Structures are given as structure tokens and as C-alpha cells.
Structure 1
């Protein structure tokens, strides 16, 4: 399956999952309770994205392709191709699912504050400086969301997961080679 077709399918499935998920209330889900208590992403250090019914996610298979950005147990389908394309979203909100291997916990943070991570249904997908993804225990998990990058730029990310040293990478968002 081509990378473009995979990206299209992930986007379609993600949209369907978001449309079918509830976004209200601060029931028993701790992520939603935190979101209700601190909805302003500018005041938070980061957020936990859990594998719960209240969080928009899709169970999938972790099978990276050539144009995917893969760091440890997390990948973004087709993200490496964004370096040489035009931004699809003039408002700076670029949708792309993050896929995390089954049972893994991965934290992604923007090292210099030039962008935001727009994951977390309970937060209305508002940008945050850091996100910790908690994959479902029994399946690879694609989390719905994306990046908020207001202009073409190279964005430094720090990715951490248990048992591995932090990975520091730079990702081009429509800015050519970084």
C-alpha cells in the first residue's frame, strides 16, 4: 500500500473516530477530568493521552513505510514528505495521526516552543508543548490529532520512552531540508 493511500486511510478513519466519539463531561476518565480542569493549553506543561473510550484513537498495525517518521515506538505516517510540500492548512493546524506500538508509553515535546502538539480530544485538540501517549495494551494505537505549526519551519522534538535515551530530532514542516 502506498504511503499516500495509507495517510489517506488513517485520515479518513481518524475523522470517523472523532465524529463518533463523545467529547463532553468529566466522567471517570482521568484525561477528561484533567482537560476540564485545565482547558487552556498555554498554562499546562503537557498532557497525557490515554487509551480510553473518551479519547479519539484507532487500533491499527504498526507497519512504517519509507516516508513515515519513526522514532522508537512512535511513528507519523507520511510526515517526512511534508518537508517538500505546501502546507495543507493555512491556519497552522496540520492533522496527522501518531501511531504508538502496543503497550508503549511515549512522550513527545517541542524543544523550543515554536510549535504545538494538537492531540487530546478532551482538550479540544488545542496545542500543547508536550504530550504523553499511552498506547492500548493489546494493539498498536493511532491517536487522532496533529501539529500546530503557524509557519514553515524546522521544529525540534524530544521523544522519550522507558528504557531508551531521549531522541532529539528536527522535523521540517514545509521548510525543505533542516
Structure 2
């Protein structure tokens, strides 16, 4: 071995000592930097609701304005509604009062009447406390002498004994062709049933008459003081009934 050169064993020992003195990894390649930790993406949120543009809104309004009437709902669907029934006020007024609700004609300032002393004659139609002067003679009389056959309206007062209450009614089967035209407060419109209340201190004549279409016999049902009615046939220019 040449002088002045270290020996191989000494070199190896020195290398090991140097390696031990160096920090760990000083001779190694640097490690790649660590990747940043993965973070969860924020939760997906629903996209904002779409809003119609002004032009689209204008087009929709125009379509609604020009569209025809909506198609009728299919029967049985929830959109089907029931029309309200018509009100009683939409019904036409009855031409005649019901026999069950007589028109009350009283001895008062609101009713056309005359206090009289009644006397009966042969041609009068009399039933209890009520009578119509000369009505029996109408069977053979001319309609024009007692009223207007064109309208069927005839004038004749009803005379009722003092204090009496008498109800006169026309049967339902004649209500469309005959009526009792008494009652100033009702404008003397034809009624199917009238209840006369005579003045307590005097016989009373009530102004009025009859409505009868054509020449015919008309039954009058006449009751007094709660008694059952008696039927009297009245001939209006129709001869014997």
C-alpha cells in the first residue's frame, strides 16, 4: 500500500461515520409535496325558479283576453256547480187568491162601502146574510147592460147584514174564468175568495163586482159564522143553470 493513502478499511469506516452524522434524508430525493385534502363540494341547490319575461306575460294576457268562453265543466267533476233555485220573487203573481186565504174586506175608511138599510126583492140573489140586488135576473139579461163582455168585468155591490161575516169562494175548477172583484185596497182585482166584514151598527154595501169570461154558470160557495159552505149556482147571461 502506498504511503500517505488511507487504507480501504479506514475509508469505509470514515464513510459510515459521515453518513451517521448527516441528517436523515439529506442524501435522498425530496418527497413530492402532499396533495391538498379533498373537500366536499357544496350541496347542489335547486336552480332559481324561472320567471316569465315581460314579453311572455304580455302574450299570455293577450291570449286570455282574446280566448273564447271556457268549455263547460264535465258533469260530475269538482268544477260543476249547482245554479241557485229561482227566488220566489221571480215567480209571476197569482191571478186569484187561494180559497184557503180569503181576501178580507172590512168596514173601514180604507175600503169602499156604504152603510144602508137593505131590503130584498124577487130578483135578488140572497144566501143568508149576503145578497146581490137583481143578480138572478142576469141569467136572461144582456151582458152589455151590466158591464163589458169584452173584458168580462161587471159591476154589482154586495149587501151584507149588520155585524155579519160572510165568506164567498169560487171553486178551483172555475178560478181561471171567474173571480170576485171586491177590495179597494187590491185595486178590485179578481179574487177567488173574499170574506166580507159588515159594519157592526149597520147593513153594509161593498162596492165591486165580478169577472166572468163568456156566458156561463158559476158556482159560489158561501159560508157564514164558521158553518159549512152552501153552494149557489149563478147564471151569468147563460139562461137557467
TM norm structure 2: 0.56
CA distance in 2, matches of 1:41, 1:123: 13
Alignment of 1:42 onto 2:95? yes
Alpha-carbon shift at residue 69 of structure 1 (Å): 0.2
- Alignment-derived partner of residue 112 in structure 2: 56
Aligned to 1:175: 238
Which residue number in structure 1 is paired with residue 67 of structure 2?
none
List alignment gaps of at least 5 residues for structure 2.
1-92
CA distance in 2, matches of 1:159, 1:131: 10
- Look up the SS of the partner of 2:154 in the other structure: strand
Structure 1: runs of 5+ lacking an equivalent: 1-39
Question: 1:164: how far off?
Answer: 3.7
Q: Which residue of 2 aligns with 1:148?
A: 211
Structure 2 distance, partners of 1:173, 1:44, is 21
- Structure 1 residues 127 and 94 mapped into 2: Cα distance closer, same or farther (>3 Å)? same
Residue of structure 2 in register with 1:118 after alignment: 181
1:12-35 deviations in whole A, cap 9, x for unaligned?
A: xxxxxxxxxxxxxxxxxxxxxxxx
Contact 1:107 1:130 survives alignment (8 Å): yes
Q: Which has the higher strand share?
A: 1
Checking the alignment, whether the CA contact within 8 Å between 1:93 and 1:147 is kept in structure 2 is yes
Counterpart in 2 of 1:13?
Answer: none
Q: Report the count of equivalent residues.
A: 139
* Residue of structure 1 equivalent to 2:156: 96
TM-score for the superposition, normalised by structure 1: 0.75
| Higher RCO structure, 1 or 2 (CA under 8 Å, sep 6+) | 1
Q: Over alpha carbons, which structure has the higher Rg?
A: 2
CA distance in structure 2 between the partners assigned to 1:139 and 1:166 by the alignment: 24
**Shift of the alpha carbon at 1:44?**
2.8
